[in-house]
Amino acid sequence: MLGLPLLARVGATAATDATVGGLYGAIRKNDPGETTMGAIGTDALMSGAFGAGGAAMGERLGGLGTSQALGGAAGAVEPANSLGERAGNVRMGMATFGLDHGVTSGVGALRNRLVKAAKAVPVAPGISE
């Protein structure tokens, strides 16, 4: 059973990754017959699901390696006409998920630094927090 701290981390990761996925869906070229809103929804959902899975796996395997493994798996299930195209999809998935891990990890680290810095600033006398 997952503990509450782990569920909070998994949920936060899923939310962040879903946001990044939705942004990607908004700017990428749509597939034939796909609308921009459909791309945003699909990419947000998939990124959030992979983010949640990666966060849960990361407790055992570690961060970047888990992201790249999930990205490779996502690339492997993409439609491909040849083995070379499938290998390209796997490489692209690994690179994309690795980049996403770097971005989302950097956002969390920056937020933590800003919160720590804000707490270190003394409050002037007579001003309540």
The answer to whether position 16 is within a domain reads yes
Of 46, 48, 25, which is closest to residue 35 (Cα–Cα)?
Answer: 25
Confidence grade of residue 37 (pLDDT, cut at 50, 70, 90): very high
Amino acid at position 77, single letter = V
Contact between residue 6 and residue 59 where contact means Cβ atoms under 8 Å apart: yes
- Would you say the pTM of this structure is higher than 0.75? no
Task: Count how many domains the chain has.
Answer: 1
Q: Is residue 127 part of a domain?
A: no
Asked whether residue 122 is domain-assigned, the answer is no
Q: Is residue 126 included in any domain, yes or no?
A: no
Q: Does residue 125 sit within a domain?
A: no
Task: Round to whole Å and give the CA distance between 68 and 37.
Answer: 27
**Domain span at residue 40?**
4-117
Mean pLDDT across 31-54: 87
pLDDT for 21: 87
Residue 36 has a pLDDT of 93
H or E element at residue 15: helix 4-27
* Cα Rg of the chain (Å, integer): 18
Q: How confident is the model over 49-96, as pLDDT tens digits? A: 877 877 777 666 555 566 777 777 778 877 888 888 888 888 888 888
Question: Would residue 77 count as lying in a domain?
Answer: yes
Tell whether 129 is covered by a domain. no
